[in-house]
Amino acid sequence: MKLVSYQTEGVVQLGVFIKGHIYNLHSCDKLIPHTMSEFLAGGVELMDRAKVINEKIITGQLAAKEEVFFELLAPVPNPTSCRDGYAFRQHVAAERRNRGVPMIPEFDQYPIFYFTNHNAIQGPGEIVCMPDHFQKLDFELEIAIVIGKKGRNVLAKDADEYVAGFMIMNDMSARTLQMEEMLLNLGPAKGKDFSTVIGPWLVTPDELAQHLVPAKAGHVGNNYNLSMKCWVNGQEVSQGNVADMDWTFAEIIERCAYGVDILPGDVIGSGTVGTGCFLELNGTKLLNDPNAQTQWLQDGDVVEMEIAGLGMLSNTIRKADSDFSILKLKK
């Protein structure tokens, strides 16, 4: 099942996406709430009701009304929290190689994550950035999960049961801001707090069952053979696979839930796939040719991300009508 959040006549609604069409779930079953947050809080019971509606529409047993005029939003417009992980060893190793430092052994010892700004979640459409963001503005190609039920001290062997669904994630990054604040060993903060893009759908795990593959040796949990690609202005710049995750979402959940509650509506990103950002790609180019031309996102650029089974997430980069700069406030 592919769940969507959308807006029509100024009201946020919850729907299912079926063969290119959106159908309002509440209009089909009055026990299903209008918003994704309320829906996820309802747990398995509401998820099962939605799956019944979804199946009836697909099989023609229910003549649901199709939405015609709408604006597609992030599937989870108001997550309870947003974490981002560091699951792809290829990306971490490449970035450290490009900086001339050895691979950090702690990567293989435990999964890590950081909290990003859950109030800066966006879906398809325009991403408006401030002038300082354009100082090495970057995309990050990732997959994300949404938690579907409350848990605490969840073991990795049980953690996949807490996943409500999967989405594409673009962890937008302002590298100059990020690198400056990381010199103080704190963050990332302003370099990553302005836009985290998710979408276009929330795809339930049952839809991806045919793509299940074993976790890497020594790891626990589900993994999926799903190709990942990114284009900028129609040119392919990145490709990878979800199966390349070294740390699984189950293992990341286990760490997230240690001593704290994970809640329905929590978003957790995988971290960047190998080749999944300009920072890594530019570094590799410069390593091979110190005179190579680097690339960063510019005003008007179109970023398209696709993960097999999860759709395509498209955004256009726009510059805010402002000249305010915090970089210029440096003492």
pLDDT digits (tens, 9 = 90+) for 272-326: 999 999 999 999 999 999 999 999 999 999 999 999 999 999 999 999 999 999 9
Question: Could you tell me the residue range of the domain that residue 18 belongs to?
Answer: 2-72
Confidence (pTM): 0.98
Q: What is the CATH number of the domain that holds 259?
A: 3.90.850.10
Residues 30 and 176 reside in one and the same domain:
no
Whole-number pLDDT of residue 260? 98
Residue 38 in this model has a pLDDT that exceeds 90: yes
Residue 73 in this model has a pLDDT that exceeds 90: yes
Q: What is the mean pLDDT of residues 170-179?
A: 98
What is the β-pairing status of strands 21-24 and 137-138?
unpaired
Residues 85 and 146 reside in one and the same domain:
yes
Q: What is the mean pLDDT of residues 66-88?
A: 97
Do the beta carbons of residue 320 and residue 131 sit within 8 Å?
Answer: yes
Residues 147 and 294 reside in one and the same domain:
yes
Is residue 111 situated within a structural domain?
A: yes
Is residue 329 situated within a structural domain?
A: no
Give how many domains the chain has, as a whole number: 2
**Residue 174, φ and ψ in degrees, nearest 5:** -100, 100
Residues 89 and 65 reside in one and the same domain:
no
Residues 264 and 315 reside in one and the same domain:
yes
Domain boundary among 29, 53, 72: 72
Question: Exposed, middle or buried: residue 13 (CB in 10 Å: 0-12, 13-18, 19+)?
Answer: buried
Residues 178 and 51 reside in one and the same domain:
no
Is residue 330 situated within a structural domain?
A: no
Is residue 328 situated within a structural domain?
A: no
| Confidence label for 187 from pLDDT (cuts 50, 70 and 90) | confident
Is residue 331 situated within a structural domain?
A: no
CA distances from 111 to 108, 140, 248 (A): 8, 18, 9
Is residue 214 situated within a structural domain?
A: yes
Domain boundary among 54, 72, 90: 72
Is residue 206 situated within a structural domain?
A: yes
Residue 213 in this model has a pLDDT that exceeds 90: yes
Which uninterrupted H or E stretch holds 84? Answer: strand 81-85
Q: What is the mean pLDDT of residues 91-119?
A: 97
What does pLDDT average to over the chain? 97
Is residue 231 situated within a structural domain?
A: yes
Residues 103 and 134 reside in one and the same domain:
yes
Domain boundary among 72, 95, 129: 72
**Residue 207, φ and ψ in degrees, nearest 5:** -70, -20
Q: What is d(CA 316, CA 299) in angstroms, rounded to the nearest whole number?
A: 8
Residues 87 and 56 reside in one and the same domain:
no
Whole-number pLDDT of residue 65? 85
CA distances from 281 to 179, 238, 254 (A): 17, 9, 31
Residues 47 and 179 reside in one and the same domain:
no
Residues 92 and 34 reside in one and the same domain:
no
What is the β-pairing status of strands 21-24 and 11-18?
antiparallel
Residues 230 and 119 reside in one and the same domain:
yes
Residue 206 in this model has a pLDDT that exceeds 90: yes
Residues 56 and 169 reside in one and the same domain:
no
